[in-house]
């Protein structure tokens, strides 16, 4: 990683994970394999920011730690990229185990439970599908009917106009949002968790 960390992909350690590496990677990973309109790809970092916002729209009283979980819902992709769902399915169970190990290490690193409660995962998935609906119709050439068929309807009262950000802006916003949510959740600054003196 650019931070100098070395991450063992088969046995990832929370101590080798840094938010700056995640943000840097996610800002450069394109949703839809880059097959989108615009001067910039719609990055996983920007997608994650929107998903966190939609989670808060659906459940305004949700605890900050679960909003942080929403922000980090695709964080593993800073290492493994954003594979489209049909390809993930074709790779099979071993891929899912690999991804889950990395997600667990990320959650532990940033003070979240290794496995979020089922209701949190369901809520994040709902927000993820809502964001994908907007991405599909505005960036990826889907008709509204196709997007409804694949992703369902966005939550009532939520609208979004997507303007893909340059990677540097997406990265900066991701890191800023992480710090806001981490502080709101009452977690120590990420670096302090692993200080030895």
pLDDT value for 96: 76
Distance from the first to the final alpha carbon of the chain: 25
Name the β-bridge partners of 30: 43
CB 184 within 8 A of CB 59: no
Mean pLDDT rounded to a whole number for the chain: 91
Nearest-angstrom CA–CA distance, 81 and 35:
15
Reported as a single tens digit per residue, the pLDDT across 79-96 is 987 776 666 666 666 777
Between CA 19 and CA 12 the distance in angstroms is: 15
61 band by pLDDT with thresholds 50, 70 and 90: very high
Radius of gyration (Cα) for the chain, nearest Å? 16
Q: How far apart are CA 30 and CA 52, in angstroms?
A: 18
Whether the per-residue pLDDT at 194 is higher than 70: the answer is no
pTM over cut 0.85: yes
34-46 pLDDT, tens digit per residue, is 999 999 999 999 9
Nearest alpha carbon to residue 120 among 177, 190, 64, 81: 64
């Amino acid at each position: 990683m650019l931070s100098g960390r070395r991450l063992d992909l088969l046995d990832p350690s929370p101590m080798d994970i840094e938010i700056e590496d995640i943000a840097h990677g996610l800002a450069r990973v394109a949703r839809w394999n880059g097959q989108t309109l615009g001067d910039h790809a719609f990055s996983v970092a920007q997608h994650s920011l929107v998903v966190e916002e939609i989670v808060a729209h659906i459940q305004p009283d949700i605890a900050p730690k679960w909003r942080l979980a929403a922000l980090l819902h695709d964080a593993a992709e800073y290492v493994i990229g954003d594979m489209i769902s049909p390809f993930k399915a074709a790779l099979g169970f071993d891929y899912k185990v690999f991804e889950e190990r990395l997600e667990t290490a990320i959650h532990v690193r940033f003070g979240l439970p290794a496995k979020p409660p089922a209701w949190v995962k369901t809520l994040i998935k709902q927000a993820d599908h809502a964001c994908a609906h907007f991405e599909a119709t505005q960036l990826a050439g889907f008709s509204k009917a196709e997007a409804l068929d694949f992703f369902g309807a966005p939550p009532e009262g939520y609208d979004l106009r997507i303007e893909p950000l340059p990677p540097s802006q997406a990265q900066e916003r991701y890191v800023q949002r992480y710090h806001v949510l981490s502080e709101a959740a009452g977690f120590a600054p990420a670096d302090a968790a692993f200080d030895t003196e």
